[in-house]
């Protein structure tokens, strides 16, 4: 049995969270067309996160390709390694 008590979230809190989420999405800022519905905003958020995952995967692949073509002891390889450690 959990000792946590359930708490109802108020509509005002939901509206505040939706507003914060909307401010994080580039599409929402560009559109500037008031407040989107919560369901549309959640769909946009999911799509945005998926696109960020695809971008990270693409950049990882490109970096792996780049690293495989250079000498591991070169100055360029050391620069890339130092950037990845940051």
Residues 44, 49, 55, 58, CA torsion sign: negative
Q: In the prediction, which pLDDT does 35 show?
A: 60
Given this model, what pLDDT does residue 44 score? 87
How confident is the model at residue 83, as a pLDDT?
86
Contacts of 21 (CB under 8 A, 6+ apart): 41, 42, 45
Task: Please say whether the beta carbons of 60 and 80 come within 8 A.
Answer: no
Percent of the chain clearing pLDDT 70 (strictly above): 84
Instruction: Look at residue 36 and tell me whether its pLDDT is greater than 80.
Output: no
Quote the pTM value.
0.67
């Amino acid at each position: 049995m959990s000792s946590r008590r359930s708490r109802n979230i108020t509509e005002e809190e939901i509206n505040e969270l939706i507003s914060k989420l909307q401010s994080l999405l580039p599409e929402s800022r560009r559109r500037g067309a008031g407040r989107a519905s919560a369901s549309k905003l959640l769909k946009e958020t999911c799509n945005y996160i998926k696109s960020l995952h695809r971008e990270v995967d693409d950049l990882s692949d490109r970096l792996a390709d780049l690293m495989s073509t250079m000498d591991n002891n070169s100055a360029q390889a050391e620069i890339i390694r130092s950037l990845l450690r940051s």
